[in-house]
Structure 1
Amino acid sequence: MSLISLFLLPWLLPSSSSTFIDPGALDPYCHDVPYPFGIIRNNTTHSEFYPSFELHCDYNGGSNSSLKVKIGGYSIDVIDISLEGGYLRVLVVRAKGFGTCRGESGRGAVGVTGTEGVEGVDGGLLDLTGTPYAFHSRNNFMVLGCDTMALVRNSSDHIVSGCVSFCVSNADKLYGKQDCSGVGCCRTAFPPGLQYATVDLQSIRNLTESTELRTRAECNEAFLIDGNDSSYADPSIKRPIVLDWSIGNKSCKDVTPSPICGPNASCYNSSEGLGYRCKCNDGYEGNPYRNDGCQEIDQCKYHEHNCSWKCENKDGRYHCACPPGTKGDGKKDGVGCTRDTYIEIGLGTGLALLVISLTIGFWFFWELKKRKQRKLKLKHFLQNGGSLLRQCVSENQFFARIFTIEELEQATDNFNEKNVVGRGGYGTVYRGTLLPDGEVVAIKKSKFVDETQIEQFINEVVILSKITHRNVVKLLGCCLETQVPLLVYEFISNGTLSQHLHEQKRPTSGRLSWETRLRIATETARALAFLHCKAASVPIVHRDVKSANILLDENCTAKVSDFGASRLIPTNQTHVTTLVQGTIGYLDPEYFQTCQLTEKSDVYSFGVVLLELLTSEKPVLFCRMGTERNLASHFMEHMVEKAGHVGVLEFLDRQLVWEARTALPVLAVAQLARRCLSLNGEDRPTMTEVAIELSALRRISMQREELRDWRISMSPRRLGAVAESTCNEEDPLLS
């Protein structure tokens, strides 16, 4: 195996013009060399040069002068310097020292012969480490010989190039020197940017024992050559290779603001590796590395022109201009410059045509867009059950309004975030103002819709449109022209019961009194009882009863809302089996375990709402420990542990007991909540029974208040007696 080292590194460089140098035609001082390169002859500097770019003039008199560059201690002939391409072409001899002779083990000696090549450099495979040079991508890697696999490895010992050459007879090797196609010779691309590499020659098959090649001891050759050169067949001539050069080893960004580029020149990164080069800006020419190198190209001054009025030089080119108000090519041998009397008419006509074209185009585009929107809205309308809803309207079964998406976008300022009044698990609620009457509404935009349940959804919407109850939020209409349906309800302005109970920053009201809480509970129970029994003759289970879904108007009148999770219970069934939905803390345990939804599931959730009214506590608090986190579970355990009324009062909001003036109605509501929270649904009362019991408690409470007010309004001479009687009437549990 023959192992050869060669090095290369990427250095980037800019543009100028290519300067070809014929070594035999150089004058004694070899002065035709462009900066940043410079000449040193007999240790004397004849022109300035950039560090590492010095060249040597080998002057032997007559026509034997040659320009050389020293690399790795060897002097190499330079035949071409290109500022624009950023390369040097140099001459090297054949690479005999890389061969492996037939009859050997298949691998040749490592190193150079020291007698052939360029000043001891065998085949021009140079060590470029520490120089501004690297092998150019234009080079080809070639192998002449038979039964040879040549691999090129970089400094990390990774294979970066290689080729295979084989023969069957000696004639194949001779043929390979004429047409390098893999038989007797192979040729492949050489990677750019390398400064060091090794070449490994190996035998790919043993032909020494069976062919006429066995007696021949010819050596295989591996070398680089300029890819544009075809003189590789003759091993006695020098071969050209191309070296890339660049300034430094940093990019333009790293050397900014002080690259060596002159005025009117710009820096650009080398495409072959690290480093940079310079090039003249557009409209300039010359050497971009000198202070006065890039000069403006004045076409009007240095080139012939035939302008009749004025020659203008722009970006290295010229054109003939005409005086204002005239037209033509401005040339003496052309049309010249003539007065254009119709220029205003032409401009006006052109402008008018442009406006008309733009108007027609805009109208056409707008019509296409509206047509596309109409198709999309119709598609959504049909997907969301629009056909079924139209049928219900025609049969006078739908008592609400079908809104268009334009009406709702106008009402909500295109669903602006500032109009969001609530977000829940099923959608977002916006506040909107319908035009032209200015009615304020709440618009619920669902997050998703189950396409398999569209028929049931439309049926529920139709039934909800028939519900008329003072404690149920009225459904005003719907819109089916969007991807998900939009439902329009009456707007309730005073927030939710949850906000009043658990948020301390309600701007519209203070703490809810016992009388108000009892009234809210009664009104909510009546609404749920109405839904279970009388709502359009089909029972409706709300399935998400919670304080956040009980709205309060300006008079704190309760309004049950958010029927997104509601389900209809057929009159001939006691339950429906469905996926569990609801809110943690309010969810019926029996429904959670069996997936069977009944009216008693709403009763359980309402029992949790009663606890919120009695305790002013949230249904779930993670700051509490164990079962105390769940308000309902904690309450039921407390009711078992504290069988007496006094023990139960410790669990309730003490302020409510004082407001009620007697503990009896508060305890009665607590006992009702306990029954509603029974784990067995059959042990819970119906919503109708709950509503009746709460109504009776509220009526008794109101009668006691009226009796008390009547006693207080008696004559002054009996006020003392009334006061004493009232004190005697207070519940002993308060003492």
Structure 2
Amino acid sequence: MVCRRASIPAATEAAAVASWPLGPLALALALAILSAMPHVALSQSLTLPPLPSPQMNLTCKNVPFPFGERSSAAYVPGFMVTCGPNNETMLRIGEHIYEIDKVSVPESSITIRAGPIKQVCYDRSGRPKPQITGVVPGPTSLEATPFTFSKRNILVATGCNYRFIANFTSSSGGGDGTPTTTSCGTATCGVSSGTIFNGSCAEISACCTARMQMDGAQQFNLTFDKPWPSGNVSGEEANTCSAVFFLDQNEQVFTSAGDGRKMSLKDALVPPGYRRMVLDWAIPGNCEQILAPQYQCGSMSTCNDVYNGTGYTCRCNQGYEGNPYEPNGCSDINECRDMNNNNCSRDACKNTDGGFTCSCPKNTVGDGYRAGTGCSIDSLPPSGNMSRIFGPNKILLITVASPITILIRI
């Protein structure tokens, strides 16, 4: 008979041993040996709780490098931010200042809050109203900045019987310099124009979207008008607003309809206010030409030229994480903390710089990999010997480690 060790609760283990027909001395020896033997599960994997990553609201004081205030050491020209009244992170682009809602270092992007690029509103009588002030319009030019219009955006038009045509170009050397055009148009509004249930633009005819067609664009010109212009409007269009704006593709077009309530066309076609839009960024220059001290990639990171020719970005090497723009911002990932980051059997993972290895603990055999043979208890203890079964009561004598011997009646 070959005894194998499985990972079972201590109470169950003790009860099982107590049921064996052993004498008091043999029972005590059995319990002592079983307690000393390693607990190794054959098919389970160890999962340690991941290190906590505290969530912090973005402020001008904790904005990640390469962004920073002018007085901060963590500041790269073109990435300077200022503080708003409540420590909001503010970024100047051209004549306007925008609040940064999010900075993604791995994706080399920022999300800003911007108003419509163009907007036309009508009063109850259908007459055009003056432009609403106090909302900063979305940018139309990113020249002389490290930013480009991201393809993570969509262009949205809302209103009755409006169209837009946008021509994007790049002055940074990306692409072949040929402008790309994107456009869409809304339909004439009427009593059957529809209602909105979940914020989608597809639910009504007074809304359309178009995807960005060009990477690395830094400027565009926009036409936003009616196919058949007229000074005043009537019917459903009176007391509404028509607008065109950039929108993060993960955002709802009509934000107040996200709770499942119906929204009428009149309620939907209001001034959009600030919406989230995404800008990509890159450090000016390229990996071949930039040398220290201007080179911005820190240790344990790699420089990558942006394929649209607008600059370069930094990435932590495989097995490391953090901010590659800081001198020592990339730190080793402990893959052994989470079974999803390694392929080791339980207790078989050993973290190394930039990686990990799998090996089985003492008194077990196997390659340590879940996809391989894993780890299992050896059929015999490493220093033990099994003697013959002898005597009329069939006693099995096992020498575990001299001078310890266990006798089992079978």
TM superposition score normalised by structure 1: 0.35
Q: Per the alignment, do residues 274 and 290 of structure 1 end up closer, same or farther by CA in structure 2, a change over 3 Å counting?
A: same
Separation in structure 2 between the aligned mates of residue 49 and residue 215 of structure 1, nearest angstrom:
48
Separation in structure 2 between the aligned mates of residue 320 and residue 292 of structure 1, nearest angstrom:
30
Give 1 or 2: higher strand fraction: 2
Q: Report SS of the residue matched to 2:69.
A: strand
The equivalent of 2:183 in structure 1 is 162
Maintained 8 Å contact 2:63/2:89: no
Determine if the alignment matches structure 1 residue 90 to structure 2 residue 95. no
The equivalent of 1:313 in structure 2 is 352
1:56 Cα deviation after fit: 1.2
The equivalent of 2:135 in structure 1 is 117
Separation in structure 2 between the aligned mates of residue 303 and residue 175 of structure 1, nearest angstrom:
43
Match of 2:299 among 252, 260, 263: 263
Match of 2:217 among 194, 205, 209: 194
Alpha-carbon RMSD: 4.4
Separation in structure 2 between the aligned mates of residue 309 and residue 184 of structure 1, nearest angstrom:
60
Match of 2:274 among 238, 248, 261: 238
Separation in structure 2 between the aligned mates of residue 230 and residue 49 of structure 1, nearest angstrom:
34
Match of 1:276 among 292, 306, 312: 312
Determine if the alignment matches structure 1 residue 216 to structure 2 residue 230. no
**Uncovered stretches (5+) of structure 1, i.e. residues with no partner:** 1-17, 103-107, 342-735
Separation in structure 2 between the aligned mates of residue 279 and residue 78 of structure 1, nearest angstrom:
22
Separation in structure 2 between the aligned mates of residue 85 and residue 268 of structure 1, nearest angstrom:
13
Separation in structure 1 between the aligned mates of residue 379 and residue 306 of structure 2, nearest angstrom:
51
TM superposition score normalised by structure 2: 0.59
The equivalent of 1:456 in structure 2 is none
State, as a whole percentage, how many aligned pairs show the same letter: 22
**Uncovered stretches (5+) of structure 2, i.e. residues with no partner:** 1-52, 170-176, 255-267, 383-410
Match of 1:183 among 202, 205, 226: 205
Maintained 8 Å contact 1:20/1:80: no
Q: Report SS of the residue matched to 2:193.
A: helix
1:333-352 matched pairs, under 5 angstroms? 335-336=376-377
Separation in structure 2 between the aligned mates of residue 307 and residue 216 of structure 1, nearest angstrom:
68
Q: Report SS of the residue matched to 1:200.
A: strand
Render the CA deviation track for 1:460-496: whole Å, top value 9, x for unaligned. Answer: xxxxxxxxxxxxxxxxxxxxxxxxxxxxxxxxxxxxx
Separation in structure 2 between the aligned mates of residue 212 and residue 310 of structure 1, nearest angstrom:
71
1:161 Cα deviation after fit: 0.7
Match of 1:31 among 61, 85, 89: 61
Maintained 8 Å contact 1:309/1:323: no
Determine if the alignment matches structure 1 residue 140 to structure 2 residue 154. yes
Maintained 8 Å contact 1:72/1:126: no
The equivalent of 2:400 in structure 1 is none
Maintained 8 Å contact 1:244/1:272: no
1:199 Cα deviation after fit: 1.0
Maintained 8 Å contact 1:137/1:272: no
Q: Per the alignment, do residues 196 and 319 of structure 1 end up closer, same or farther by CA in structure 2, a change over 3 Å counting?
A: same
Aligned residues: 295
Maintained 8 Å contact 1:329/1:337: no
Match of 1:70 among 66, 72, 92: 92
**Max radius of gyration: which structure?**
1
279-288 or 156-165: bigger deviation: 156-165
Maintained 8 Å contact 2:287/2:304: yes
Q: Report SS of the residue matched to 2:250.
A: coil
Maintained 8 Å contact 1:125/1:224: no
The equivalent of 1:22 in structure 2 is 57
The equivalent of 2:287 in structure 1 is 252
1:117 Cα deviation after fit: 2.1
1:413-432 matched pairs, under 5 angstroms? none
Match of 1:48 among 74, 90, 95: 74
Render the CA deviation track for 1:205-259: whole Å, top value 9, x for unaligned. Answer: 57899x94498375521111111110535635421000111011x4434547984
Render the CA deviation track for 1:418-451: whole Å, top value 9, x for unaligned. Answer: xxxxxxxxxxxxxxxxxxxxxxxxxxxxxxxxxx
Separation in structure 2 between the aligned mates of residue 256 and residue 340 of structure 1, nearest angstrom:
59
Maintained 8 Å contact 1:56/1:68: yes
Determine if the alignment matches structure 1 residue 228 to structure 2 residue 250. yes
Separation in structure 2 between the aligned mates of residue 68 and residue 114 of structure 1, nearest angstrom:
22
Maintained 8 Å contact 1:88/1:242: yes
Output the amino acid matched with 1:34.
Answer: P
Separation in structure 2 between the aligned mates of residue 99 and residue 214 of structure 1, nearest angstrom:
15
Maintained 8 Å contact 1:79/1:90: yes
Maintained 8 Å contact 2:162/2:224: yes
Maintained 8 Å contact 1:145/1:220: yes
Render the CA deviation track for 1:663-713: whole Å, top value 9, x for unaligned. Answer: xxxxxxxxxxxxxxxxxxxxxxxxxxxxxxxxxxxxxxxxxxxxxxxxxxx
Separation in structure 2 between the aligned mates of residue 337 and residue 310 of structure 1, nearest angstrom:
19
Maintained 8 Å contact 2:363/2:378: no
Separation in structure 2 between the aligned mates of residue 197 and residue 114 of structure 1, nearest angstrom:
23
Separation in structure 1 between the aligned mates of residue 191 and residue 134 of structure 2, nearest angstrom:
25
Render the CA deviation track for 1:629-687: whole Å, top value 9, x for unaligned. Answer: xxxxxxxxxxxxxxxxxxxxxxxxxxxxxxxxxxxxxxxxxxxxxxxxxxxxxxxxxxx
Q: Per the alignment, do residues 230 and 272 of structure 1 end up closer, same or farther by CA in structure 2, a change over 3 Å counting?
A: farther
Render the CA deviation track for 1:80-105: whole Å, top value 9, x for unaligned. Answer: 1001011000111344x433869xxx
Separation in structure 2 between the aligned mates of residue 98 and residue 193 of structure 1, nearest angstrom:
26
Maintained 8 Å contact 2:69/2:80: yes
The equivalent of 1:172 in structure 2 is 193
Give 1 or 2: higher helix fraction: 1
Q: Report SS of the residue matched to 2:313.
A: strand
The equivalent of 1:287 in structure 2 is 323
Separation in structure 2 between the aligned mates of residue 115 and residue 140 of structure 1, nearest angstrom:
24
1:32 Cα deviation after fit: 1.8
The equivalent of 1:99 in structure 2 is 120
